[in-house]
């Protein structure tokens, strides 16, 4: 039997494991709430049945089990980060002002990819989000933004539970390299492909494309991203605030991953504003 005098030590371990668990699940507010409710319910249920002395140790075991399971669920992300490191290790952060040329670059790529994908795969495209194929998202879709990374984010929403193997092969044949699953969606529902233009062809072809192939659980993220970009297109003050932060970070930071991390706080705030704006429309 556990010594009750150890309870405060065990409680500290519980709190630490609890916070680690929530930290790993940073991307999912719903999972956080569920975990809090389940943990508290489990604790009081054990106490109710008269096993209070075992309650904290059992909760600690549960928390660490959940940590291991969460890491297992997100195991493919480790490969994504490794791939990103090798793909971006020699690339430096580049920001450019918005230009109508970007719209033309995306339009041409949409035509090219649709010729390859639409006839064969249109039946798995989401009718609401990807009825005509490729969607333009990300900073280069925000008209008149003062600074943006000139690699275009584009997306396809599909309705299948998994990414079809042949679909990925068709993208590879179209010049896209599979990076892995993007870190913003739980259980890895956004498959990431890059098509980066060689440096000696940038002037004629642009910088390239990041393609997100989104499975159904990630469709809401795509909707919110579209709202975010449209919100900033229509609201010049927040667009300027976003641009200024990008420019400020770029003065001291050349690493792309650190750049993304440093603007995250403002991005989250603007995402929330865009959500409220979209609801009010």
- pLDDT score recorded for residue 2: 40
Using alpha carbons, list the distances in angstroms from residue 171 to 40, 115, 125, 218: 46, 12, 15, 20
pLDDT tens-digit profile, the chain (281 residues)? 444 444 565 566 556 655 655 555 545 566 667 777 777 787 788 778 887 777 777 777 777 777 777 777 666 666 666 666 666 655 678 899 999 999 999 999 999 988 888 789 999 999 999 887 889 999 999 999 999 999 999 999 999 988 999 999 999 999 998 888 876 655 568 898 999 888 888 888 889 999 999 999 899 999 999 999 999 999 999 999 999 999 999 888 877 778 888 898 999 999 999 999 999 97
- Residues with Cβ within 8 Å of 151's Cβ and at least 6 positions away in sequence, in order, are 140, 196, 207, 208, 209, 210
Residue 118, both tokens: 């639409």
- pLDDT score recorded for residue 255: 77
- pLDDT score recorded for residue 231: 96
- pLDDT score recorded for residue 49: 81
Q: Which residue has the tokens 């940073």?
A: 26
Rounded to 5°, angle at Cα 150 from 147 and 155:
115
- pLDDT score recorded for residue 1: 41
d(CA 278, CA 281): 5
- pLDDT score recorded for residue 91: 67
CB 152 within 8 A of CB 209: yes
pTM above 0.85? Answer: no
């Amino acid at each position: 039997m556990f010594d009750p005098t150890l309870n405060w030590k065990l409680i500290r371990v519980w709190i630490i494991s609890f916070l680690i668990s929530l930290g790993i699940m940073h991307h999912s507010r719903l999972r956080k709430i569920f975990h809090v409710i389940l943990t508290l319910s489990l604790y009081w249920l054990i106490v109710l049945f008269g096993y209070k002395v075992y309650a904290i140790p059992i909760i600690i075991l549960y928390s660490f089990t959940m940590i291991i399971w969460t890491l297992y669920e997100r195991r493919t992300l480790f490969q994504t980060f490794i791939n990103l490191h090798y793909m971006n290790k020699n690339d430096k952060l580049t920001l450019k002002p918005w230009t109508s040329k970007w719209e033309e670059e995306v339009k041409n790529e949409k035509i090219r990819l649709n010729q390859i994908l639409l006839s064969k795969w249109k039946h798995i495209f989401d009718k609401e989000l990807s009825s005509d194929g490729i969607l333009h998202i990300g900073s280069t879709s925000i008209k008149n933004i003062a600074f943006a990374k000139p690699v275009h984010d584009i997306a396809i929403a599909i309705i299948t539970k998994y990414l079809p193997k042949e679909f990925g092969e068709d993208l590879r044949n179209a010049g896209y390299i599979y990076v892995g699953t993007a870190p913003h969606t739980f259980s890895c529902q956004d498959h990431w492909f890059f098509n980066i233009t060689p440096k000696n062809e940038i002037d004629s072809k642009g910088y390239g494309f990041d393609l997100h192939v989104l499975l159904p659980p990630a469709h809401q993220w795509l909707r919110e991203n579209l709202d975010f970009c449209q919100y900033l297109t229509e609201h010049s003050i927040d667009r300027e605030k976003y641009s200024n932060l990008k420019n400020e970070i770029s003065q001291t930071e050349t690493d792309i991953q650190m750049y993304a991390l440093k603007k995250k706080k403002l991005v989250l705030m603007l995402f929330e504003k865009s959500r409220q704006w979209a609801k009010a429309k």
